[in-house]
Amino acid sequence: MKFLTKACFGMLLATSAMATPAMAQDATDAPSGPITVSGGVDLVSDYRFRGISLSNEKVEVQPTITLTHESGFYAGVWGSGLPKTDEYGKVEVDLYAGWGGEVAPGTSVDIGATYYWYPDGKDAFGPVDYVEIIGKLSHDIGPVSATGTVAYAPSQKSLGSDDNIYLNFGLSSGIPNSPVTLDASLGYTSGSLGALAPGGDYLDWTVGATFAAGPMTFGIHYVDTDIKKSGIPAVDTLFDPTVVFKLGVGF
C-alpha cells in the first residue's frame, strides 16, 4: 500500500525492501538446478513504508516467495495484512520481477518493477492498484555495503494522475565474528506518495540492527520522518517516530 492519494489514503486507512535471508545450501547437497526458490514469513510490530505506518501501528504478518534463475532474472510475490477499509480491503499483494547481478567486483545492480495489488479493494473513485519501477546500485567498501535506490511510479489514475519518485541511500555492515548486522538509511519522497507532507515532499530515515540465527532473524529499527503534524491525532500517529520489531523465518 504504497501511495497516499485518495483522500490521503482513505485518511490513512480510516484513521515504505528487508529481504529474508535464504538458508545456505549444504555442500553435500546435489545441485539445485537453474532456478532457486527462496522466501519466508515476517511478523512485524508495525508495517512502515517509507516512514509511514500502513497498518495503523498494528502487528502484521508478511510472507514472501521468490524464484531466481541462474541468469539473474527473478520474480516473486510479497504480501501483508492491512487494517480493513472499503477502498483497499484487508490485504496488499506486491508482484515483482526484474534482474539483479554483479557487474564488477563488489558492485551489483538490480532493476525491476513492482505491481501493488489490493485484491479485495473497492474504490468508487477509480483504481487503487499501481506500478512502480525500481533500480538499485550496491557497492561493497570493505565491510560496509552501500546501496542507492531510485523508485519511480509514472503517472497513473490510482496516483491521482500524477507521478512519484523515491530516492534512498543506505549503509549496512556486519559486526565481525557476530550474527549482527547494523544498517541505516535516508529516503526522500516527492510526488503522489508524499500526500501528507507540504508540497508532497518529505524525508524518512531508519537506523537499527538485525540478528540472524540459522533461518531465523530478529530486527529492531528506529523509524522517523520530517512530516509536520497535521493536528489530527489519528493521522499524526501514523508518522510519529517509532521502534519497529521484526521476527522472521526464511528458507
* Residue 125 located in a structural domain: yes
CA neighbor of 225 nearest in space, from 182, 183, 194: 194
* Residue 29 located in a structural domain: no
pTM to 2 decimal places: 0.85
* Residue 28 located in a structural domain: no
Alpha carbon of 112 to those of 74, 96, 134, 237: distances in Å?
9, 7, 5, 32
Would you say how long the chain is, in residues? Answer: 251
* Residue 155 located in a structural domain: yes
Task: Convert the pLDDT of each residue in 178-233 to its tens digit.
Answer: 999 999 999 999 998 777 787 789 999 999 999 999 999 999 999 999 999 888 88
Which residues, other chains included, contact 129 with Cβ-Cβ below 8 Å and sequence gap of 6+?
115, 116, 117, 118, 121, 158
CA neighbor of 68 nearest in space, from 26, 96, 45: 96
pLDDT(52) > 70:
yes
* Residue 156 located in a structural domain: yes
* Residue 66 located in a structural domain: yes
3-state secondary structure at position 27: coil
How confident is the model at residue 130, as a pLDDT? 93
* Residue 55 located in a structural domain: yes
Phi, psi of 215 (to 5 degrees): -80, -5
How confident is the model at residue 195, as a pLDDT? 78
Structural domain that includes position 55 = 6-22+35-250
Question: How many structural domains is the chain composed of?
Answer: 1
Task: Convert the pLDDT of each residue in 94-129 to its tens digit.
Answer: 999 999 999 999 999 999 999 999 998 877 667 889
* CATH number where 108 lies: 2.40.160.40
Residue 94 pairs in a beta bridge with 78, 116
Angstrom distance (rounded) from CA 91 to CA 71: 32
Number of alpha carbons in the 13 Å side-chain half-sphere of residue 88: 30
* Residue 121 located in a structural domain: yes
